[in-house]
Structure 1
C-alpha cells in the first residue's frame, strides 16, 4: 500500500487535509500531512529566507526521518512546485506524483512564471512593513468566496488555517535537473467549478516527462477540493496511487 504524503499550498497548513486523511487511512494507507516551514504550528519559523527550497527540504527530511518508501506525493496549488522539487532530490522514494489543481513547473521556472498574478501580491506586500510576508486572500463575494470556498461554515474553518506566506517561495526558480525524477508517473486533478477560476492554471502538457500521455482527472468543485469534496478527492488519490487509469 503506497504511503501518502500530502503537501498543502500557499497560506495553508497541513490541517487543510483533515477531511482527507481519515478517508485514506480507512482505506489502509499510511498518511502524512505536515505543515511546511512558516505555516500552521510552524508559523513562528517564517523568515525572509524561507523559500521553495526550504519547503522541498521539509518534505525530503520527513521522508528520510520516517524511512518512507513507495510514496504517493501529493501537492495542492503551490504545493505542486514543492513536490516537484522534492522528487528531484529523492526520486527513488517516490512512486507517484499527484498535482491537485496545481502547476507542474519546468526546470528554472518560478511560481510567478506559472501564475503571473502572484506578482501583484508581492508588489502590494512591498508597500508594507514586512515586504517578504504575503497575507492570505480575503473573502470575496460569491461565487469566489475564500479561494473558491463559499459555504459559510467552510469559510470560517478555512480562515483558521491560513497565515502569511513567504514571498521568496514565489520568486525562487525550481531546480529539476535529476533525470531519474522524470520517470516518476504523474496524475493531474483539476477543479472545474466556476469558483475554481480564482486560480487560472496553465493547461497540463500533453505528455509527462517520461513521455507517456498525461493523466488528467476533474472534480466539479472549487480550488479547495480537499475541503469541499474530500471523499471524491480521496477516491481519485487512491486510484492514482494504484496506477489505475
Structure 2
C-alpha cells in the first residue's frame, strides 16, 4: 500500500467510528473466523452472529480446548499450540476457504500461528486489539514487562497452573457483566508462556489492525497499534470502544469488519 493510500485507510476508519449506519461495500458470503481472547470462548461473540448473517456473511467463533463448553478438557498441558491446533482443525473439517481471520487480544497469538500454517486458506488477517508476535515470542514476551510476574503470581495463588481472568471493561452493561462473569474461566498459564513457532517465515498476507481506543491505564496494545499505524504494509483502523467491542459495540465492529473485508487486497 502506498503512503497516501495508507493515510486514506486511516481516515476511513474514523468515518466508520463517526457514522451510526455507514454504507458498506458488501462482499458476498465472506467467512470470518475468530480466534477469541483469553478466558473467553465462542459464546462471547453471540451478539455478532445475527449482524454478520444479516449482511450475508458467515462468522465462526470456535471455542478453545479447556474453555467455555469445552471446560471439561481443561488441563495443565493445554498451551498456545493446543489452541492453534483447535482452529486449524476447524478450518480442515469445516473446509473453510477465503477466510478473513480475526484475532482478538490473546487470539492474536493464536491467529498468527494459524495464518502461518494455513496461508492458502486465508485472504486477510485482522488483529482486533491484539498481540502481534513474531517467531519465538510468547505473550509474556510481547506484553508489558510486568505481565510475566503477575501471571505467575496469580497462578501460584490459585491452583498453580491457571491464570484467572482480567477485569471486565468498565463500560460493560450490568447485564453483560453478569453474563460474562458466569462464563469466563481461568486459563492454563502455558498458553501465555509458550513461544510461537513459525514454520513458513514472515507473513505476507494482507494485514489490518483495529485499535480500540477506550483504553485502560495499563494498555498493552498501544505498541502494536502504533507499529501498524506507521507501517505501510498494514491497514490501520480505530474504533471508539473498549477492549471487548464484540460485547459493548457489536454493530460498529460488524460494520468495520465488513468494510475491511470489502477492501482490495
TM norm structure 1: 0.88
Q: 2:157 aligns with which of 128, 135, 141?
A: 128
- State the Cα distance separating 1:99 from its structure 2 match: 0.6
The correspondence of residues 19-38 of structure 1 with structure 2, limited to 5 A, is: 19-38=47-66
The answer to whether 1:70 aligns with 2:70 is: no
The yes-or-no answer on 1:239 pairing with 2:239 is: no
Name the CA shift for 1:149/1:167 in 2 (closer, same or farther; >3 Å): farther
Aligned residues: 234
Deviations 1:121-166 (A, max 9, x none): 322234336211111235xxxxxxx244442222112212310111
- Name the residue aligned to 1:161: 183
1:203-223 residue CA offsets vs partner (Å, 9 max, x unmatched): 332489xx8432111111211
What residue ranges of structure 2 are gaps of 5+ in the alignment? Answer: 1-28
Q: Deviations over 1:54-106 (max 9, x none)?
A: 00110000000011100111111000110110111111001111111112111
Cα deviations by residue, 1:33-57 (Å, 9 ceiling, x for unpaired): 1111111000111111111110011
Greater Cα radius of gyration, structure 1 or 2: 2
SS in 1 for 2:234: coil
Report the Cα distance in structure 1 between the residues aligned to 2:229 and 2:173, rounded to whole angstroms. 36
| Superposition RMSD in Å | 2.1
Residue 198 to residue 235, structure 1, CA distance change in 2 (3 Å): farther
For residues 187-202 of structure 1, the aligned pairs below 5 Å read 187-195=208-216, 197-201=217-221, 202=223
Q: Could you tell me which residue of structure 2 aligns to residue 59 of structure 1?
A: 87
In structure 2, C-alpha distance between the alignment counterparts of 1:239 and 1:78, rounded to whole Å: 23
Return 5+ residue gaps in structure 1 as ranges: 139-145
SS at match of 1:193: coil
Distance in 1, Cα, partners of 2:264 & 2:210: 14
The answer as to 2:201 corresponding to 1:214 is no
Q: Distance in 2 between matches of 1:158 and 1:199?
A: 21
In 2: Cα distance, 1:132 partner to 1:40 partner: 18
- Corresponding residue SS for 1:5: strand
Moved over 3 A (4+): 147-150
1:174 matched to 2:202: no
Q: 1:182 to 1:48 in 2, by over 3 A?
A: same
Find the residue that maps to 2:156 and give its secondary structure: coil
Cα shift at 1:23: 0.7
Q: Deviations over 1:15-37 (max 9, x none)?
A: 11111111111111122111111
